[in-house]
Amino acid sequence: MTGIGVLTPIGLGTEAFARGLRAGASGIRRITAFDPGAYRTQIGGQLDGFEPEAMFGARDRRHLDRASMMALTAAIEALEEAEITTPAARPDRWGAVLGTTLGGMISGERFHRLLFVQGKRRPSRLRDFPLHAATDRLCSTFAIEGPSFTVSSACASGAQAIACAFDLIRSDEVDVALAGGVDTLAQLTHAGFDSLRLLVPEPEQIRPFDRRRAGFALGEAACVLVLEERLHADARGAKALAEIRGFGTSNDAYHMAAPRPDGSGSARAIQSALQASGLPGSRIGYINAHGTATQQNDASEAMAILSVFGGPAECPPVSSTKPMTGHTLGAAGAIECAAAILAIRDSFLPPTLNYGEPDPACPVDCVPNVARDTSVEAAMSNSFGFGGVNYSVVVAAPTFDPAPTEREATL
Amino acid sequence: MTDTVVVTGVGTCSPFGAGSHAFSAGLREGRSRAEVASELVRSDGHAATVCLVPDDALHGVPERARRLSRAHRMAMVAVADALADGQVDLDRFRRERVGVCYGTPSSTRHAEELQDTIAERGPRSVSPLMFEHSTGMAGPGTMAIEYGIAGPTIPLPGGGASGLQGICLASMLLRSGRVDLAIVVAAEEIAPLYYHALELLRVLSSGLDEPEASSRPFDKGRSGIIPGEGAAAVILERASDARERGATAVVELCATVLAHGGEAGSLHSTPSGSYRPHVSAPLERTMRYALNRSGYSPGDVDYIAACANSARALDAMEADALGELAAPAVVSSIASIIGDMGAASGLLNFVGCVKSMEGGFVPPTLNFGGHERPLRLDIATTLRTASLGISVVNAHSLGGACASTVIRTLTERKPQR
């Protein structure tokens, strides 16, 4: 992993995001992207200060959806950090995998509204509507000619994209892959989650792992990581930010919108991620939870984590950054993987905001309310989605030595 | 040496009805399925010409999936057909070792109704079920529940290339030992907004008088696509596992290569068909790489199942790519018979190719009378009987992603390196 680019409601750019995570900032406010007046919940996380006008010309903006512009902006930052400034020598050995649930929904909604309200047809609004549009824009902008595709596994999309890109590199299909996720704040999903009564009306009510938890707020975000085969990175003298050790995936095969209450489905993903990483649970210093702050998710996730790690005493700190960023759907898995990497890089644990009343069903150390300074050598990021899909990704410091610690050796 | 990946079952739900036998017979017969659908009206007032799946093809859909969008129900039919074809008893597999790669439809009626509901009746009228059924996991999630599939479930909203993207990912899952059985499926339905979007993007055929003559891949008189609906499914396993359970492997997957047109790849900018010749590079590259990886040369190829779909730009691009590859193979496009199947097109093309190899025939490319430029290609305009040892399947989607797969019948001898 040689580059990160992020746009989140708590910070545009990697450094601002890292500062926000450490400060426990909240990016959740009243929604201005559309009129939220008719909904039970009127808050969400938006990219304050993101100005596509400054980055893209008027002509491009007619075709590019907000999601495409967000993904491109994140990719530019990631490539800069990876110090890749010239087009690839072997563009066919570059790939791109993005996860998204909405694609160009903002353009789609605008097209639909224009058609309905004013009877106007604006086909240019449809160019970026397909879910694969942002990935295509990455390829055409950065001249990527290798395997490129889009995944859409609801809230696990971003993690799934990183996992697929990891497999592309492992299978020697590519040397470098841009991987991540993007989603905007669209009326459609807000209305949908509002109808499921999963959204809360006030930012302070997003309370992962708290007994009073009742749901989340949505957010928009983009994250693009530069994943690179280690030898390829070494050969060009690139500095690695982190290493992706492996991932695990599973499907609950249980219910469209609810996890298995005992967490056995997600436990399998967590277990196989650990196995793939080649690390014992004791080497994981931090878990960035899916932590949506719904009654069902957090209890089932806590149970899954504890069942794999052994018990509250053996379990590393588990926090959810969703109270800060909102639930950014297809981007969530990617920005949370980035948060885990930043925790390793900057030696701190991002806090779980708004935590007050412990829940016996979630007996985890959730780093309540304030960030904690501590060194982390390896971390895990969990992402679970509609349709029962579970992903768990393990990342480690670039200097990480997988040899067993003394403690393990004596056990 | 790594184990090879074989196809042990195929299934379809196509305009010829449920089942790959009907599909195969339909391709052999070679009669266009394009028809005028009176319930779908173009903006110029004409009824739309499309290729539809007959409703009775959906009778076998399991109870759980009845309320899903049409595309997902067609996918269910195709998967049931493929599992039966491959004599797969899922109870004999560990469910967490079974994976699904799902080429998701470009649009569904559920997703469009959700939009309509918000626009017409206000946001508070959205129902939870409607929302659940509109997400990318609606199809794969229901399938996982129905069959108890607990391994990777990967929804691929990649348009025409999504089916071969699924084949590529599934073989990666099998080769890396992550799963023991992979189900690749892709589906498309003709939802009203999707149809109108195609119309507005000016990719539809203007041929209105004669539906059966309006899809004309490679032909100089082609004016655009005829949208179709359908689904295809493919069962993939490692050759050794298939042998062990006594399954009949139909074909071997030699190599699948995905690529993107990069800077020049998007055909979006050229809906009316002005295409720049150098755009052929990615599709030629995927074919060449896939053949290289399989150990074959272009001269070894017997049949190329083209992705040409009667669009001005795509067909010109593929014709050039095939010309540059210079394989002495027979070329045909089933889009002339069943239309452009959108997200299902790549995988239906794949299944069509497998059935051709199995049955020893090349389906005709209807309505082809000559390309706008001289072609040195052998395009089959009538049904041919042929023994097909090695074939190439192509796929492409509007945003610039493309893919080629090389498959060989299991009676063909291995290449000598």
To test the contact with chain A by mutation, choose from B5, B126, B137, B162 the residue with the greatest count of A C-beta atoms within 10 A, namely B137
The closest alpha carbon to A394, from A223, A176, A193, A247, belongs to: A247
When mean pLDDT is compared across A343-357, A394-408, B261-275, the lowest value belongs to B261-275
Could you identify the residue written with the tokens 């789609």?
A108
State the pairing for strand pair A286-288/A318-319.
parallel
Q: Tell me how long chain A is.
A: 411
End-to-end CA distance of chain B: 14
Distance from CA of A91 to the nearest CA of B (A): 8
Q: Do B154 and A147 touch (CB under 8 A)?
A: no
* Torsion B298-B299-B301-B302 (CA) sign: positive
**Span A144-164, mean pLDDT?**
96
Buried b (16+ CB within 10 A) or exposed e, B319-356: bbbbbbbebebbbbbbbbbbbbbbbbbbbbbbbbbbbb
| Residues B58 and B73 sit within 8 Å (Cβ to Cβ) | yes
**Span A181-203, mean pLDDT?**
93
| Residues A369 and A321 sit within 8 Å (Cβ to Cβ) | no
What whole-number distance in Å separates Cα of residue A173 and Cα of residue A159?
A: 19
- Look at residue A317 and give its three-state secondary structure: coil
Residue B268's pLDDT is: 41
State the pairing for strand pair B181-188/B98-103.
parallel
pLDDT beyond 80 at A411: no
Distance from CA of B216 to the nearest CA of A (A): 25
- Convert the pLDDT of each residue in A314-334 to its tens digit: 999 999 999 999 999 999 999
What whole-number distance in Å separates Cα of residue A10 and Cα of residue A13?
A: 10
Nearest to A92 among B132, B144, B285 (CB): B285
* Torsion B201-B202-B207-B213 (CA) sign: negative
Average pLDDT, chain A: 94
SS3 of chain B: CCCCEEEEEEEEEECCEECHHHHHHHHHHCCCCCEEEEEEECCCCCEEEEECCCHHHHCCCCHHHCCCCHHHHHHHHHHHHHHHHCCCCHHHCCHHHEEEEEECCCCCHHHHHHHHHHHHHCHHHCCHHHHHCCCCCHHHHHHHHHHCCCCCEEEECCHHHHHHHHHHHHHHHHHCCCCCEEEEEEEECCCHHHHHHHHHCCCECCCCCCHHHCCCCCCCCCCCECEECEEEEEEEEEHHHHHHCCCCCCEEEEEEEEEECHHHCCCCCCCCCCCCHHHHHHHHHHHHHHHHHHCCCHHHCCEEECCCCCCHHHHHHHHHHHHHHCCCCEEECCHHHHCECHHHHHHHHHHHHHHHHHHCEECCCCCCCCCCCCCCCEECCCCEECCCCEEEEEEECCCCEEEEEEEEECCCCCCCC
Question: What residue type is A126 in one-letter code?
Answer: L
What whole-number distance in Å separates Cα of residue A14 and Cα of residue A4?
A: 7
> A327 an active-site residue?
yes
Nearest to B259 among A92, A127, A389 (CB): A92
Q: Do B144 and A253 touch (CB under 8 A)?
A: yes
- Which residues on chain A are in Cβ contact (under 8 Å) with B114? 188, 191-192
- Which residues on chain A are in Cβ contact (under 8 Å) with B106? 130
Interface check for B258 against chain A (CB to CB < 8 A): the answer is yes
| Residues B150 and B98 sit within 8 Å (Cβ to Cβ) | yes
Interface check for B378 against chain A (CB to CB < 8 A): the answer is no
Nearest to B137 among A133, A167, A386 (CB): A386
The closest alpha carbon to A8, from A194, A227, A224, belongs to: A224
- Convert the pLDDT of each residue in A110-132 to its tens digit: 888 888 788 888 787 788 999 99
| Residues A21 and A347 sit within 8 Å (Cβ to Cβ) | no
What whole-number distance in Å separates Cα of residue A173 and Cα of residue A59?
A: 35
The closest alpha carbon to A396, from A381, A375, A373, A377, belongs to: A377
Neighbours of B299 (CB within 10 A): 10
- Look at residue A114 and give its three-state secondary structure: helix
Provide the chain B residues 385-404 that lie in CB contact (below 8 A) with chain A.
397-401
**pLDDT per residue rounded down to tens, chain B (417 residues):** 468 999 999 999 999 999 999 999 999 999 999 999 988 988 888 899 999 999 999 998 988 888 899 999 999 999 999 999 999 999 999 999 999 999 999 988 888 888 888 777 877 777 777 787 888 899 999 999 999 999 999 999 999 999 999 999 999 999 999 999 999 999 999 998 889 889 988 899 987 789 999 999 999 999 999 999 999 999 999 999 999 999 999 999 999 999 998 765 554 433 333 444 444 578 999 999 999 999 999 999 999 999 999 999 899 999 999 999 999 999 999 999 999 999 999 999 999 999 999 999 999 999 999 999 999 999 999 999 999 999 999 999 988 999 999 999 996 444 544
What whole-number distance in Å separates Cα of residue B24 and Cα of residue A166?
A: 38
- In B, minimum Cα distance to A137 occurs at B399
Q: Do B114 and A188 touch (CB under 8 A)?
A: yes
- In A, minimum Cα distance to B134 occurs at A192
- Which residues on chain A are in Cβ contact (under 8 Å) with B399? 130, 132-133, 135-136
- Look at residue A134 and give its three-state secondary structure: helix
Phi, psi of A189 (to 5 degrees): -75, -35
3-state helix, strand, coil in chain A (%, to 5): 40, 20, 40
To test the contact with chain A by mutation, choose from B162, B165, B198, B260 the residue with the greatest count of A C-beta atoms within 10 A, namely B260
Question: What residue type is A370 in one-letter code?
Answer: V
**Span A278-300, mean pLDDT?**
96
The closest alpha carbon to A248, from A269, A263, A277, A268, belongs to: A269
Residue B276's pLDDT is: 45
Q: Any idea what DSSP says for residue A201?
A: S
Question: What residue type is B326 in one-letter code?
Answer: A
> A290 an active-site residue?
yes
Q: What's the pTM?
A: 0.94
What whole-number distance in Å separates Cα of residue B108 and Cα of residue B100?
A: 20
Q: Which helix (H) or strand (E) holds A45?
A: strand A43-45
> A155 an active-site residue?
yes
Distance from CA of B151 to the nearest CA of A (A): 5
| Residues B156 and B162 sit within 8 Å (Cβ to Cβ) | yes
Neighbours of B358 (CB within 10 A): 15
Q: Do B262 and A143 touch (CB under 8 A)?
A: yes
What whole-number distance in Å separates Cα of residue B350 and Cα of residue B101?
A: 15
**Span A133-155, mean pLDDT?**
94
Distance from CA of A345 to the nearest CA of B (A): 30
Provide the chain B residues 121-160 that lie in CB contact (below 8 A) with chain A.
122-124, 126-128, 130-132, 134-138, 140-142, 144-145, 147-159
pLDDT beyond 90 at A154: yes
The closest alpha carbon to A332, from A394, A381, A269, belongs to: A381
Question: What residue type is B372 in one-letter code?
Answer: E
Residue B267's pLDDT is: 45
The closest alpha carbon to B308, from B160, B102, B157, belongs to: B160
Catalytic residue among A155, A164, A223, A366: A155
As to burial, measured by CB atoms within 10 angstroms (0-12 exposed, 13-18 middle, 19+ buried), residue A281 is middle
What angle do the packed helices A14-23 and A332-346 form, to 10 degrees?
80
